[in-house]
């Protein structure tokens, strides 16, 4: 039970951190913090920050808790983005007086559902593989999704929805325009919705991890043979982790799609998967709080580095390398341990006496 | 053996009463045996790792499986628990055929095991390890867990209580919050037994439970194995090199060499058996033993 209390505290700190960050941002937007006014470009980054935080936390479920390296996370994001945009645009044209919040929620839910279906379809073949092979195959599936979406055309004609595969000549106004992606989207995403989505993601992931299913997921990661001998259906729990992660990525994608008037299919390339993986690794594999911080900081960093002009991405890469080295250095680790208040460990206390 | 023959064969042996020549304790004679392995065998690329293995274990019997290193003892465990699929023969657990089952299904049927090289979830606490064993005993759904419905709190509380109950068997309830990986070796072996017990087995398979334990701990382990048998009314099959333990508590012993059963019997019979002595000590010693 002591462990439960520790979990509770740990989760409370994570929620608290997100809520405080949100409130600070809100204050900065309204200019209430003395002299500091958030720049326009920084304000534009608020929704992407929420999106990438959700992406990082959900990928952490696969990579950190389930122990499977997935390199196709952006694929689920794109499924979520385009299905979410489609649904919200369709709702907007079919029922003009529906409130925009309902359209956003419908977009998030449908993004999650479609990405979840994609997760199930991809998970069935992929989760038979292990280790490096699994990573490579998820990468391939991510590319397949992107290429499929490249060929898809959806158009809206009043209430009816038309679909064309490799055929842009459809009646009405094109919503998903092949390689051009989503065009002419009503920008419905807001920082507040993003914040709620982040909280929802944290709620799902942290509760899942601290439950019967979560323990089974981690047992399957730590020792597959022992987990099976204890009657745990390893494939089922790997699937649960993979699909949950895909659903959350899809919701993040839907929010992302609603944040821009145009989103090209190429946005969800392999690079985006790697970027999210970098957040997870930098924040510490299996550490939810680390994923949040890393995702937020690394999304802002390119904006902050604007003054370096052409050398921006170079500096970004150098900062990345420096942080990776620093977090792995035992010297700094010791320093952190000294600063951090020591927790009482039952084992150590008994040893001293 | 064709599929049809196999089925017929299984049907014949499905409800075997314990054969008269089989060694099961008297109290179990009229009960259905917990395990009936007949003609069990596996080949790895032509090498017969286990061949024609037959064994019957009574409902509350403590049985032993011994043999020199590399005799195939752990392979037998892996065959019984379906880590390997046997290439011949059949295994009945509580009268049910395990053909075509996987490890998970075998566990649900009542086979729980420990491992020779300890396989704990070392990053989890002691209690969490036992809770993994309780996974199928106290269950609630995925959504119940995520959305913290009443079933979650009930299930977690029950798991906690059951886990502490089981840990108290070995006086380990004080270590419930310690990481399993940081336990001393003997305690890790005990935890593996508790975790296996948590799956509510009818046959507990222990792979070298006393390895790495000192004589005092081994003594305690022997008492505990008997205690577990009496309290849970289950059968135990153990692989062990510590002859004091095997001869001390096993009611029936099976000796394996080069993948074949070379002797079966009670502790006294095994100790006197010249074939066993030869397998362990070599031919010359066996002759000397017979003379002396």
The tokens describing A335, both together, are 């320093």
Would you call B145 an interface residue with chain A, using a CB distance cutoff of 8 Å? yes
Domain count of chain A? Answer: 1
Q: In whole angstroms, what is the distance from residue A64 CA to residue B55 CA?
A: 43
Q: What is the pLDDT of residue B132?
A: 96
Residue A351 inside a domain? The answer is no
Between CA B21 and CA B18 the distance in angstroms is 8
CA dihedral A74, A76, A80, A83 (to 10 degrees): 110
Q: Is residue A267 part of a domain?
A: yes
For residues A349 and A69, what is the distance between their CA atoms, to the nearest angstrom? 38
Nearest to B68 by CA among B281, B288, B285, B283: B281
Kindly determine whether residue A226 and residue B102, on different chains, have CB atoms separated by under 8 Å.
no
Q: How far is B136 from chain A (nearest CA, A)?
A: 7
Contacts of B12 (CB under 8 A, 6+ apart): none
Rg (CA), chain B: 20
Q: Which of A1, A232, A347 sits opposite B135 (nearest CB)?
A: A232
Residue of B nearest to A221 (CA): B121
In a domain, residue A353? The reply is no
Answer whether residue A212 is part of any domain: yes
Rounded to a whole number, what is the distance in Å from the CA of B264 to chain A's nearest CA? Answer: 28
Distance from CA of A265 to the nearest CA of B (A): 33
This model of the complex carries an ipTM of 0.86
Cross-strand pairs, A78: none
CB pairs under 8 A between A and B: 101
Interchain pair B83, A204: CB under 8 A: no
Q: If you measure CA to CA, which chain A residue comes closest to B102?
A: A228
A317 is a domain residue: yes
Q: Are B74 and B55 in contact (CB under 8 A)?
A: no
Our CA-based measurement puts residue A212 at a distance from the nearest CA of chain B, in whole angstroms, of 7
pLDDT of residue B42: 94
Is the distance from CB of B205 to CB of B113 less than 8 angstroms?
yes
Q: Half-sphere exposure of A91 toward its Cβ, with a 13 Å CA cutoff? A: 21
Q: Which of A1, A222, A230 sits opposite B199 (nearest CB)?
A: A230
To the nearest whole Å, the CA of B266 is away from the closest chain A CA by 30
* Burial bucket for residue B292 (CB in 10 Å: 0-12, 13-18, 19+): exposed
Question: Cβ of B104 under 8 Å from any chain A Cβ?
Answer: yes
State the pLDDT at residue A91. Answer: 93
| Amino acid A35: pLDDT | 64
Beta carbons of A225 and B135 less than 8 Å apart:
no
The CATH code of the domain that includes A70 is 1.10.3470
Cross-chain Cβ contact B142/A2 below 8 Å:
no
Tell if the CB–CB gap between A212 and B140 is shorter than 8 Å. Answer: yes
Residues of B in contact with A240 (CB under 8 A): 142
A222/B199 touch (CB, cutoff 8 Å), yes or no = no
pLDDT (tens, 9 = 90+) of chain A, 353 residues, equals: 566 778 888 899 999 999 999 999 988 888 777 666 777 888 889 999 999 999 999 999 999 999 999 999 999 999 999 999 999 999 998 888 899 999 999 999 999 999 999 999 999 999 989 888 999 999 999 999 999 999 999 998 888 888 989 888 888 888 898 889 898 888 999 999 999 999 999 999 999 999 999 999 999 999 999 999 999 999 999 999 999 999 999 999 999 999 999 999 899 999 999 999 999 999 888 899 999 999 999 999 888 888 888 888 888 889 888 888 887 777 776 776 666 555 444 444 333 33
CA distances from B47 to B66, B87, B88, B89 (A): 21, 12, 13, 16
Distances (CA, A) of B130 to B144, B167, B290: 21, 8, 49
User: How far does the CA of residue A215 sit from the closest CA of chain B (Å)?
Assistant: 7
User: pLDDT below 70 — which residues of chain B?
Assistant: 1-23, 284-287, 289-292
SS3 A226: helix
Q: Do A228 and B112 touch (CB under 8 A)?
A: no
In a domain, A140, yes or no: yes
Which one-letter DSSP state was computed for residue A70?
-
Tell if the CB–CB gap between A230 and B132 is shorter than 8 Å: yes
Do the Cβ atoms of A215 and B119 come within 8 Å? no
- Does the global pTM surpass 0.80? yes
Instruction: State the Cα–Cα distance between residues A157 and A171, nearest whole angstrom.
Output: 6
> Would A138 be classed as within a structural domain?
yes
Contact B212, B189 (CB under 8 A): yes
**Can you list the domains of chain B with their CATH numbers?**
1-110+201-292 (3.40.50.300), 113-200 (3.40.50.300)
pLDDT reported for residue B13: 39
Is residue B63 within 8 Å of B253, Cβ to Cβ?
yes
Q: State the smallest CA–CA distance between residue B212 and chain A in angstroms.
A: 20
In chain B, residues with a C-beta closer than 8 Å to the C-beta of A218 are: 121, 123-124
- Residues of A within 8 A of B147 (CB-CB) are 207
Range of the domain at A44: 2-336
Nearest to B145 among A208, A223, A227 (CB): A208
H or E stretch including A316? helix A312-328
Q: Which residue of A has its CA nearest to B81?
A: A229
Cβ–Cβ below 8 Å for A229 and B148: no
Closest in A215, A229, A347 to B131, CB measured: A215
Give B216-258 pLDDT, tens digit per residue: 999 999 999 999 999 999 999 999 999 999 999 999 899 999 9
pLDDT in tens, A171-203: 888 889 888 989 888 899 999 999 999 999 999
Tokens representing residue B72 in the block: 């195939």
CA atoms lying within 13 Å on the CB side of residue A340: 9
Question: Could you tell me which chain A residue has the CA closest to the CA of B152?
Answer: A211
Query: Phi then psi for B12, rounded to 5 degrees?
Result: -65, -40
Interface contact B155-A346, CB threshold 8 A: no
Contact check, Cβ <8 Å, A1/B160: yes
Task: Identify whether the C-beta of residue A298 lies closer than 8 Å to the C-beta of residue A49.
Answer: no
Contact A295, A55 (CB under 8 A): yes
Does a structural domain hold residue A42?
Answer: yes
């Amino acid at each position: 039970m002591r462990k439960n209390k520790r979990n509770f505290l740990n989760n409370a700190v994570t929620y608290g951190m997100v809520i405080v960050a949100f409130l600070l941002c809100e204050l900065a937007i309204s200019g209430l913090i003395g002299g500091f006014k958030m720049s326009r470009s920084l304000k534009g980054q608020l929704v992407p920050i929420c999106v990438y935080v959700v992406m990082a936390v959900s990928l952490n479920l696969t990579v950190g808790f389930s122990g499977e390296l997935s390199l196709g996370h952006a694929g689920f994001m794109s499924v979520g983005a385009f299905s979410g945009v489609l649904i919200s645009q369709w709702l907007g044209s079919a029922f003009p007086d529906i409130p925009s919040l309902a359209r956003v929620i419908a977009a998030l839910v449908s993004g999650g559902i479609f990405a979840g279906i994609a997760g199930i379809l991809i998970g069935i073949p992929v989760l038979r593989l292990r280790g490096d092979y699994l990573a490579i195959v998820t990468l391939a599936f991510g590319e397949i999704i992107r290429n499929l979406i490249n060929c898809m055309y959806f158009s809206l004609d009043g209430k009816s929805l038309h679909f064309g595969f490799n055929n842009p000549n459809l009646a009405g106004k094109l919503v998903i325009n092949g390689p051009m992606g989503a065009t002419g989207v009503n920008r419905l995403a807001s920082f507040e919705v993003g914040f709620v989505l982040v909280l929802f993601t944290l709620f799902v992931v942290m509760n899942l991890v601290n439950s019967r299913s979560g323990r089974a997921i981690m047992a399957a990661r730590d020792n597959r043979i022992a987990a099976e001998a204890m009657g745990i259906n390893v494939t089922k729990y790997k699937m649960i982790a993979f699909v949950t992660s895909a659903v959350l990525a899809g919701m993040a994608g839907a929010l992302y799609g609603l944040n821009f008037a145009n989103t090209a299919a190429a946005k969800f390339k392999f690079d985006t998967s790697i970027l999210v993986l970098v957040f997870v690794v930098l924040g510490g594999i299996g550490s939810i709080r680390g994923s949040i911080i890393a995702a937020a900081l690394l999304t802002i960093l390119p904006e902050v580095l604007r003054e370096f002009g052409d050398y921006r991405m170079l500096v970004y890469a150098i900062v990345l390398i420096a942080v990776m080295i620093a977090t792995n250095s035992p010297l700094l680790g010791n320093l952190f341990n000294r600063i951090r208040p020591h927790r009482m460990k039952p084992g150590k206390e008994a040893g001293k006496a | 053996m064709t599929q049809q023959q196999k089925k017929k064969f299984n049907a014949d042996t499905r409800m075997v009463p314990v054969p008269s020549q089989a060694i099961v304790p008297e109290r179990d004679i009229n009960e259905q045996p917990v395990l009936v392995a007949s003609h069990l065998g596996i080949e790895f690329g032509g090498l017969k790792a286990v061949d024609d293995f037959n064994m019957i274990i009574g409902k509350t019997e403590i049985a032993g499986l011994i043999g020199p290193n590399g005799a195939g003892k752990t392979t037998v465990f892996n065959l019984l628990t379906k880590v390997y699929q046997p290439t011949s023969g059949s295994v009945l657990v509580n009268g049910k055929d395990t053909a075509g089952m996987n490890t998970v299904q075998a566990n649900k049927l009542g086979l729980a095991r420990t491992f020779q090289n300890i396989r704990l979830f070392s990053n989890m606490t002691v209690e969490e390890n036992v809770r993994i064993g309780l996974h199928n005993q106290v269950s609630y759904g995925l959504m119940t867990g995520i959305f913290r419905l009443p079933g979650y709190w009930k299930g977690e509380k029950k798991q906690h209580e059951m886990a502490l109950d089981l840990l108290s068997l070995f006086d380990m309830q004080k270590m419930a919050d310690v990481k399993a990986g940081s336990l001393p070796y003997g305690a890790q072996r005990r935890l593996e037994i508790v975790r296996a017990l948590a799956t509510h087995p009818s046959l507990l398979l222990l792979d070298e439970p006393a390895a790495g334990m000192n004589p005092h701990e081994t003594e305690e382990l022997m008492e505990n194995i008997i205690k577990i048998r009496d309290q849970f009314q289950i059968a135990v099959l153990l692989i062990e090199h510590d002859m004091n333990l095997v001869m001390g508590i096993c009611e029936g012993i099976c000796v394996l060499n080069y993948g074949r059963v070379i002797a079966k019997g009670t502790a006294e019979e095994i100790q006197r058996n010249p074939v066993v002595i030869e397998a362990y000590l070599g031919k010359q010693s066996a002759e000397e033993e017979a003379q002396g």
